[in-house]
Copies of this chain bind each other. A is one copy, B any other.
Amino acid sequence: MAIPRAAYPAPFNTTRASHVVLRVKDLAASRAFYVDCFGFIVSDETKDTLYLRGIEEACHHSVVLQRMSGAPVCERVGMRVYTEEDLDRAKHFFEAAGLPAKFVEVPHQGRTLHVTDVIGTPLEFCATMDLKPRLVVEFKQHHGACPLRIDHFQIIAPDVPRACDFYSALGFRLSEYIAIDDTDELLFVFLQRKGNPHDIVFANGPGPRLHHAAFNIPDAAHILTACDIAGAHGFGNKLEFGPGRHGPAHALFAYFRDPNGHRIELFTTHYQMMDIENEPVRWNVSYLKNRPWGFPAQKSWFEEAMAFDGVAARPPVKPSHPMTLERFLVEQAP
């Protein structure tokens, strides 16, 4: 396996993970979870849509929740490009690759490009959004877990190497990856544009499906605050994994399922990666049963993910056999 290099200069300038659009059955439950409990800020609200942002975000939204009938799905994940010209270049790039790309109107966003990536993930790019006040020092409006900003998405991908190659061609850098021990078979790839470990992660499994969207919180203590406040709001049983410490990217984390089944990660900020000499960091998958501390994730964390709207999940090229908590407890028993 050759670890791919990020195209430089990139064919167009993607700056960062931007937002996620989620369909839900119960919007009131979403509000109770994201806003009342965890402290996301409501930027706008219509009868059927809730636009949320983190306390330091000046952009209009990083989470869009849309009430729809039918099973909850992820509509698409959103990325920012820097300029309008980058949008045009992006359209050209996707079309040249034989992938769908069209401009659409999206409320509170500038000109928006809908595309589908090489493994079928629905994405959108925009260069601008409506502006909202940064509330990072508006302490009266801070509560719950004090989510600061969106950081990244994790996608369950049926063909991780193919996704890795494609995003590398878009200019994403591989910061870390997990491979099967003694092989070059990629199971997880952490790809980034904004200078920290990841904007988008692909993990091996039936997909494409959205595994989670991740949000920064201020510090380690807020990981525990997030759990406590979840318990206080009746969402304690939505804590699916954590508190724990990641190997790749190193952050402290807690994963929650929202009342509609979407998964979010709350995690502490992590390192800067901006220099050309930084090689991707390799992890062997066996670390998952030898974590520095803490149990592996339960089975649901590995297996459950959210379908993208209208996109059928395909089985992975490589079957995976993760070290789940359930399996771990059996294997460690005397």
A81 nearest CB neighbor, chain B only: B276
Interface assignment of A309: CB less than 8 Å from any CB of chain B = no
Say whether A278 contacts B139, CB under 8 Å. no
Determine if B292 and A134 form an interchain contact, defined as CB atoms under 8 angstroms apart: no
Q: Which residues of B contact A272 (CB under 8 A)?
A: 16, 56, 149, 194
A294 in the interface, Cβ–Cβ < 8 Å? Answer: yes
In the complex, A139 Cα to B276 Cα: how many Å? 26
Number of copies: 4
- Provide the bound-state CA to CA distance between A130 and B47, in Å: 46
> Complex Cα distance A243/B221, Å?
12
A227 touches B15 (CB 8 A): no
In Å, the complex CA distance between A257 and B100 comes to 56
Complex interface: stretch among A69-77, A115-123, A162-170, A232-240: A232-240
Q: Please give, as numbers and ranges, the residues of chain B lying within 8 Å of A292 by CB-CB distance.
A: 137, 228, 231-232, 236
Chain B nearest Cβ from A223, distance in angstroms:
7
Q: Mark A91-112, 1 if CB is under 8 A from B, else 0.
A: 0000000000000000000000
A200 at the interface (CB under 8 A from B): no
Which residue of the partner chain B has the closest CB to A329?
Answer: B326
Q: Chain B CB within 10 Å — which of A56, A227, A269, A272 has the most?
A: A272
